[in-house]
């Protein structure tokens, strides 16, 4: 489909969303692996490599990198860059967003 090209900012947003999705997929896969017996488990390095390959095979998902260290941080309860920025740089908190939406929906009534 033809249309306008995406801006550089939008391209970075899309890439960031893909990166976050791949990291979340790796964390979920590792947690599922921990349910298996110890002899059947795959290493975190192997899981990261497989998740990275899976995401790069998808159409339009090139350049996704799944770092073992980043996955380790998230497994230990760390926040992603996206989560941190949403919590510290957002104009409104989640509660304020919900109140604003509720207010706007009640306006026409």
Q: Please, are residues 75 and 15 in contact by the beta-carbon 8 Å criterion? A: no
Contacts with 14 (C-beta within 8 Å, 6 or more apart), sequence order: 6
Residue 28 confidence class, pLDDT cut points 50, 70, 90: very high
Whether residue 13 sits in one domain with residue 64:
yes
Give the residue ranges of DSSP H helices in 1-109: 8-33, 44-57, 68-75, 81-89, 94-106
Q: Please, are residues 16 and 82 in contact by the beta-carbon 8 Å criterion? A: yes
Taking only the tens place, the pLDDT of each residue in 40-80 is: 889 889 999 999 888 888 877 778 888 889 888 888 888 87
Whether residue 63 sits in one domain with residue 39:
yes
Domain span including residue 70? 8-78
Identify whether 62 is part of a domain: yes
Tokens at residue 26, please?
A: 């790796």
**CA dihedral in degrees (71, 77, 81, 86; nearest 10)?**
150
Give the per-residue pLDDT at 5: 85
Our count of domains for the chain comes to 2
Whether residue 55 sits in one domain with residue 22:
yes
Which pTM was predicted?
0.72
């Amino acid at each position: 489909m033809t249309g306008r090209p995406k801006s550089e900012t939008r391209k970075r947003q899309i890439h960031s969303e893909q990166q976050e999705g791949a990291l979340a997929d790796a964390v979920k896969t590792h947690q599922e692996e921990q349910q298996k017996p110890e002899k059947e488990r795959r290493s975190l390095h192997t899981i990261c490599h497989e998740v990275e390959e899976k995401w790069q095979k998808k159409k339009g998902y090139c350049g996704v990198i799944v770092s073992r260290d980043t996955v380790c941080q998230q497994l230990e309860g760390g926040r992603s860059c996206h989560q941190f920025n949403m919590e510290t740089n957002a104009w409104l908190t989640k509660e304020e967003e919900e109140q604003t939406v509720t207010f706007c929906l009640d306006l026409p009534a």
